[in-house]
Structures are given as structure tokens and as C-alpha cells.
Amino acid sequence: MNASVDRIKVLVIDDEPVMQELICSHLQARHFLVQSADEGRRGVDAALKLRPDVVICDLKLPDIHGFKVIELLLQSMPDLPIIVISGVGQIDDAVTALKLGAVDYFSKPLANLGVLEHAIKQALEHAQLRQRNRDYRSKLEQANRRLEANLKQLREDEEAGRRLQFQLLPPETQTFGNIYCSRRLWTSLYLSGDFLDYFRIDDDHLGFYIADVAGHGVSPAFVTILLKSYMNRYLELFRQAKNRGVLNPAKIMSRMNHNVLQSHLGKHLTMFYGIIEFTSNRLHYCNAGHYPYPILYDGEQAEFIESRGKPVGMFEFAEYRNETITLPKNFALTLLSDGVFEILPQLEIKDKLAFLLSLFNRDRITINHLSRGLGVDSAGNTLPDDITLMLIKRGF
């Protein structure tokens, strides 16, 4: 659809010479490209050749009724905005025209042609909006088809599903400026209900999240693929300058909650989503029921970033909130899934939490140091639950 007025093509179908000339002259004076026809079928033929942006059509025509013109035009050009003008002025005609697909209706005589010009521009804006929505739906359908293909592959072959799921994970180590990210994931079965990711949003923001889907096996793994797909879609919308939601952790959680509920998989998940803003050295985050809480270590003290929230996909009207902290100059931020509690020898949760904090007592923190301290590598091949470990650090 043309954006500038001097390129907008308007076709006027009216058999009254005076009215036709009046409308055409007014629009031409305002730099519209105008063509006219004095019969319905001539108007339809002209529209097929001209491909106008807007059609202005009288209802009472010498050969066929204006209603028939609307039907014929919309059969060939379903998105064509049609504005109806009529000297009859009956409300039934207006209702019928709008039901057939016309976007506006005016009665003759037109006391103010500026109103018609405004209607043209408004019709174009609505047409552009419909086109954008259609493009978005098309991209969404393509993404859903890709997702369905991935889900089908998971169902057919769990081993292939495992490879696919691990391909969706970020590199085991990755650097973003002066921030170093690393991760490990140990699964209790072929397929995991745990998932994590870290990614650059733009030059000033690093995004990361950890998620733990309730249950084990194929069904939770489906949800992790959905999660990755949704996050990629939000990131793509941001990069296309269409939506800044990916910079709002609470908004992402709300959308994710809606999406998971709408999937009707009967699954829910806990999730922590954080954004590091480089220029302000701040961490913006939202916690949707994820536990244990992330651990922040500044070289002297390790502490949990305590924040509560409802799991994703459990409650339709769950509300989420953003929180912000300033990061130390040097820091190590560690995120774990609750599967780690299953392999720790302590009996009480408070003792397990104290043990987790005790791992941070050195100048150099690495993912290997943490996994050895947790005893994951020596736990054997049969873990009682999936275990995920993510380390994001600067200066250690």
C-alpha cells in the first residue's frame, strides 16, 4: 500500500457526471491519482487493470447495482477498501454495503468533500494494519509449522529428540564483551525438562533464562522447545523494531504464561529471566517460581537473590513483577535447577542451601569447580532429576 498521498490511486465509479467530476477534481487537486468509470462493469474492468488503492462507488448505476460491484471487486481483490456513496440515503443500503465488505458509507450530496478525503486515508490505514496482521500471522504459522516438525521428530525418536534439544542450547561457553557465560546440563532421561539460554539482545543488553518444566521425559521436553520458540519470536520482534517486550522480564513471563496455558499440554514450569544492562551495570529480572534462587557472589560474600513469583502455565491470571539490582564490579551469578537438591547429602533444605553458598569461597569461580563441588559428575548415570547449571561472571 502506498504511503504518500501523491501515489495513492483512487477509482471513482459514478454515473452522475457532475458528482463524478466534483469528486475527481477535488482528489486530483490533493495529488491523488484518480481514474473514473460511469458503469459498474467498466469500473470492475478498470479496477482489475489499475489495481487502485481505494474505490469510491455509487450504488445506483445504469448496468448493475453497486452491491454487485462490491462483490465482484472483493472476489478479485479481497483487501481493496471500498467507500460507498449513494443518493438514496437509506439505512438498509448502508448496512448491506458494509456487510458485503465496504469500509465506509456516505449519502449524497456530499456537503464537505474533505470528509471523503479523510475516509480514504483512514481506509488505507486500516488496510495497512490488516496487511501487517496478515504478515505476522503468516510468519507465526511458519514458525508453528517448524515447531510442529520439531515436535514430530521428538515423538518419532527420543534419541533424535535429545540431539535436537541439545542443539537448541547455547554454546557451553560464550563471551559477551567482558561477561563470560557457561553452562552444563545433566539429564535423568534421554529428554530433559530443564532448559537455559543466554543471548545478546542488542549492544547494551544481555538476556538469559533458566527454566524447569514439571515432570520428566517427552512431554516436558515439548515445553522446552515451545519456550525456545517463543523467546526467539520475542527476540525477532524486538530486532524488527516491532516490540520491546523482550526487555521487560515481567511482560515476557505474562506472555509465556498465556502461551503455555493456550498450548493445553497440561504442563507448568518455573523460570528466571534476567537482563544485564551494560551501561548502567544493572540486572533487571523476574522470577516465576524458580528455586533455588540465583546466587550472586562478589568475591567476598555469596547470597541468594530472593524473589518470589507464580510458576508459568499454572494460573490464568498470574501477575509478575520486574526487579532490579546493581551488579558489583566483579561478580559471579549462578543459576541452578532444583534437581541439585536430590544429589546433595544434607537432609534439611536449609543445610543444602548453606552448602550451595559455601561453594563460593575462592578468587576463581568456574563451571567445572561448581560441578565438582556439587558432586554431579560422580553421581553416576542414573540421576533422580535433571540438573542444570549456569554461570555468568565478570572478573573471576
pLDDT at 42: 92
Q: What is the domain partition of the chain in residue ranges?
A: 5-132, 164-394
What pLDDT score was predicted for residue 154?
61
143 three-state secondary structure: helix
- Could you give the strand order of the β-sheet that contains 82-86, starting from the edge strand earlier in sequence? 33-37, 9-13, 54-58, 82-86, 104-107
pLDDT at 2: 44
Sheet of 387-394: strand order equals 173-176, 179-186, 387-394, 331-336, 295-297, 302-304
Mean pLDDT for the stretch of residues 342-357? 92
Question: Which pLDDT value is given to residue 330?
Answer: 94
| Residue 299 grid cell | 568475591
pTM across the whole model: 0.60
DSSP type of residue 246: G
State pLDDT tens for residues 353-396.
Answer: 999 999 998 778 899 999 888 888 765 557 777 889 999 999 87
CATH code, 164-394: 3.60.40.10
Per-residue pLDDT reduced to its tens digit, 26-73: 999 888 999 999 998 999 999 999 999 999 999 889 999 989 999 999
Q: Report percent pLDDT > 70 for the chain.
A: 91
Query: Exposed/middle/buried for 174, CB within 10 Å: 0-12, 13-18, 19+?
Result: middle
Helix (H), strand (E), coil (C) string for 265-315: CCCCEEEEEEEEECCCCEEEEEEEECCCCCEEECCCCEEECCCCCCCECCC
Confidence band, pLDDT 50/70/90 cuts, at residue 160: low
- C-alpha 339/C-alpha 211 separation (Å) is 12
Identify the residue with better confidence: 224 or 201.
201
At residue 88, the pLDDT reads: 67
Q: What is the mean pLDDT of residues 103-121?
A: 85
Task: Work out the mean pLDDT of the chain and round it to a whole number.
Answer: 87
Q: Convert the pLDDT of each residue in 174-204 to its tens digit.
A: 999 999 999 998 877 656 678 899 999 999 9
pLDDT at 153 over 70: no
Largest CA distance in the chain: 93
Residue of higher predicted confidence among 150 and 76: 76
Neighbours of 21 (CB within 10 A): 13
What pLDDT is recorded for position 136? 80
Q: Is the pLDDT of residue 334 over 60?
A: yes
Residue 127's pLDDT is: 82
Question: Helix, strand, or coil here: 69?
Answer: helix
Would you place residue 157 in the very low, low, confident or very high pLDDT band (cuts 50, 70, 90)? low
Name the residue with cell 477535488: 26
Of 95-109, 277-291, 351-365, where does the model show the most confidence?
277-291
* Separation in Å, CA 329 to CA 209, 298, 365, 393: 22, 8, 15, 10
The predicted model gives 13-31 an average pLDDT of 89
- Per-residue pLDDT, 6: 52
Q: What is the pLDDT of residue 3?
A: 44
- Give the integer Cα–Cα distance in Å for 113 and 123: 15
The pLDDT-based confidence of 149 (bands split at 50, 70, 90) is confident
Beta strands per DSSP E along the chain: 9-13, 33-37, 54-58, 82-86, 104-107, 173-176, 179-186, 194-202, 205-213, 269-277, 282-288, 295-297, 302-304, 323-326, 331-336, 387-394
Whether 156 shows a pLDDT value over 70: the answer reads no
Residue 71 identity (one-letter amino acid): E
The more confident residue out of 158 and 34 is 34
Q: What is the CA radius of gyration of the chain?
A: 30
CATH code for 5-132?
A: 3.40.50.2300
Give the confidence band of 1 by pLDDT, cuts at 50, 70, 90.
Answer: very low
